[in-house]
Structure 1
Amino acid sequence: MDQRIINLYDEYTHRPLSRDQFIKKLVLLTGSMAAAMGVLPMLEGTYAVAQTSPTADLFTERVNYPVEGGQMKAYVARPIAVKPYAAVIVIHENRGLNPHIEDVTRRAAEAGFLAIAPDALSLLGGTPANEDEARAMFAKLDMPATISSFAATLPYLRQRKDCNGNIGCVGFCWGGAMANNLAVSVPELKAAVAFYGRQPDAAQVGKIKAAVQLHYAGLDERVNAGKDIYEQALKANNIRYESYLYEGVNHAFHNDTSAARYNEAAAKLAWGRTIDFFRTYLA
């Protein structure tokens, strides 16, 4: 697919660009409305194709737990056997808690973890089905309060009998930035993995106690602009970290609901590295 189309979709999903403006620009790039409508399903999420992790061999549930201002909603998955597990907080993109992220949560559970995916939009009523509505709701979030709400997931997990107290997080896009912010804000966090996520303020990196793993897409100029400064700060503060750059792939390469941006080889490699990282630092 024309990289200009991928870049336009990235602009649409991350910047103040209305759907009407996006469609008009997409028509100009593709040559016609019919061609634009043909391309659109390859860009937007098709959740039915992403149900790769069945629930039959897992325990799953939906939970609420208290945060300042109300209740955080979350999806939970773990192996069926009732015993304490290391826990992984799965943090969604700027579309909220959707079927794809629930599927990723089950993948973490299949790897032997207690996995929980909080909904950042909980205090606004929860993630709507319409992705445009969800993205608009993210602009209403107060980030310090949202970071605190995600941080509240740790004490909730620790009081569960199926958690052994070792907790990490993994986030994608908006969630990647949140994973970096949690690493800065929550010293009890043992491991943080960020997929193509915005970096924290370099001056705050010294607060990190967790081991950090970073995954970047080679074609993702927007996020990669802060990559080197972050890594320099990690080195300067002697933070344990790993950083991987996947050449020739786009932002959101791990999201298998978007055919145009998903890269199977990079996604499987990055996810394998993520699970190995958690098994090392959450043991």
Structure 2
Amino acid sequence: MKTNEETLTIPQEAFDWYDEYAHGDIDRRTFLTRIASLSIAGLSAGVIGSALIPNYAKAEQVSFNNPAIKATYEEFPSAQGHGTGGGYFVVPTTPANDKPMPAVLVVHENRGLNPYIKDVARRLAMQGFIAFAPDALFPLGGYPGNDDEGRAMQRSLDRDKIEQDFIAAAQWLNAHKMTTDKLGVVGFCFGGYISNLLAATLPSKIDAAVPFYGTPASSELQGKVKGPLLLHFGENDKRVNATWPEYEKVLKANNAQYTAHVYSKAQHGFHNDSTSRYSPKDAELAWQRTVDFFNTHLK
């Protein structure tokens, strides 16, 4: 039998309010108060809220102890950032070989290295890439285990230093003895922004960038983007989508190589399989396009 959460039809207003909440524009109490104002027969604010707030038990597609991969926690120097950064490093173990492999940097949302992003790194390792997912919250002890606290922790850090940490992580991964000179990046929401930022600040090192619903780098940096980029957008993601037309003009003026996909009726965060914003069909298609893109440009 299907649960209420599985059969629940959530109004667009609730998705929009969750987007505000997830980006720190409103607090949890305000979000739940707004949800309570919706008139949906037989469904409480708690049911709707719990359907939208991540349940990371749903997000594991690749077990952390899968014998085809090996996951460790690694640190890297970040002189212009917080001094030292750290993250989740996942290596394919099959087929066993000592040859360097192409690498992909995986960048989390605005709340630290949560279980969903770690699972994305494992999914990439299953596809034959070395994946490294840095944690912006490493200087504060790492992702705390819940998104509200993680979001507050990330907002407390210097944004410029966070960006420098991810730039340093990309350089460290590119120079790693286990990786080839081919480097990709994929990121989600804040991580989508970082993917665009890295494409602009490290155009000679980033061989393939995949921003999922990410805003562009600052206007003074956008002109440095060469690509290739593969950009994914949800049709109902008004906040991010509003930034795309001007960014696309810059990419065209740069003669940058890019492909953009807009997924019909999809929400911001549609790839994240831990909430009701998840759109399985769109997520699977976007992910297959992403893997194909990395196979083309990194292998």
Question: TM-score range, shorter-chain basis?
Answer: over 0.9
| Equivalent of residue 223 in structure 2, options 206, 209, 212 | 206
Is structure 2 residue 133 aligned with structure 1 residue 124? no
**1:75 aligned residue:** 88
How many Å apart are 1:206 and its aligned residue? 2.0
Whether 1:23 aligns to 2:32 is yes
Kept in 2, the 8 Å contact 1:83–1:161? The answer is no
Change (3 A) 1:136 1:195: same
Residues 89 and 130 in structure 2, CA contact (< 8 A), matched pair in contact too: yes
- Report the Cα distance in structure 1 between the residues aligned to 2:292 and 2:174, rounded to whole angstroms: 22
- In the alignment, the residues of structure 1 paired with residue 76 and residue 230 of structure 2 have an alpha-carbon distance, to the nearest angstrom, of 28
2:156 is the counterpart of 1:140:
yes
Q: Is the 8 A contact 1:27 1:33 kept in 2?
A: no
Does the residue aligned with 2:223 lie in a helix, a strand or coil?
helix
State the number of aligned residues.
282
How far apart are residue 65 of structure 1 and its match?
1.4
Give deviations 1:197-223, integer Å, cap 9, x for gaps.
Answer: 012234422212331111000000010
Match of 2:4 in 1: none
Q: CA deviation at 1:31?
A: 6.5
Contact 1:74/1:118 (<8 A) preserved: yes
| Percentage of identical aligned residues | 41
Q: Pick which of 130-139 and 85-94 moved more.
A: 130-139
Deviations 1:130-164 (A, max 9, x none): 21111112222322221211111133224432201
Shift of 1:241: 0.6
User: Which of residues 37, 40, 65 in structure 1 aligns to 2:76?
Assistant: 65
- Aligned equivalent of 2:237: 220
Give the distance between the partners of 1:262 and 1:118, measured in 2 at CA: 23
Structure 1 residues 48 and 200 mapped into 2: Cα distance closer, same or farther (>3 Å)? same
Aligned to 1:281: 297
Does the residue aligned with 1:139 lie in a helix, a strand or coil?
Answer: helix
Give the structure 1 partner of residue 279 of structure 2. 263
Determine helix, strand or coil for the equivalent of 2:217: coil
Q: How far apart are the structure 2 equivalents of 1:149 and 1:21?
A: 33
How far does the alpha carbon of each residue in 1:50-77 deviate from its partner, in whole angstroms, 9 at most, with x for none? 1111322112111111213332110011
Extract structure 1 runs of 4+ deviating beyond 3 A.
30-34
Partner amino acid, structure 2, of 1:49:
K
CA drift at 1:34: 7.1
Give the gaps of 5 or more residues in structure 2.
1-9
Does the CA contact (< 8 Å) of 2:189 and 2:213 recur in 1? yes
Rounded to whole Å, the distance in 2 between the matches of 1:101 and 1:158 is 20
Say which of 255, 259, 262 aligns to 1:238: 255
Shift of 1:38: 1.2
Q: CA 1:73–1:23 in structure 2 vs 1: closer, same or farther (change >3 Å)?
A: same
- Equivalents in 2 of 1:49, 1:240: separation in Å? 35
Instruction: Give the distance between the partners of 2:56 and 2:139, measured in 1 at CA.
Output: 24
**TM-fit CA distance, 1:33:** 11
Query: Alpha-carbon deviation of 1:26?
Result: 1.4
Matches within 5 A, 1:164-179: 164-179=180-195
> Does residue 1:96 correspond to 2:112, yes or no?
yes
Tell me which residue corresponds to 2:51.
42
CA displacement, residues 219-249 of structure 1 (integer Å, 9 cap, x when unaligned): 0001000111111110100111110000111
Secondary structure of 1:48's aligned partner: helix
Deviates most, 33-42 or 59-68: 33-42
In 2, are the aligned partners of 1:30 and 1:36 still within 8 Å (CA)? no
The answer on whether the counterparts of 1:96 and 1:127 sit within 8 Å (CA) in structure 2 is yes
Partners of 2:128 and 2:102 lie apart in 1 by: 8
CA drift at 1:39: 1.5
Q: Is contact 1:157–1:165 with CA below 8 Å preserved after alignment?
A: no
Which of 212, 225, 229 is residue 246 of structure 2 equivalent to?
A: 229
Letter of the structure 1 residue corresponding to residue 91 of structure 2 = R
Report what 2:5 is aligned to: none
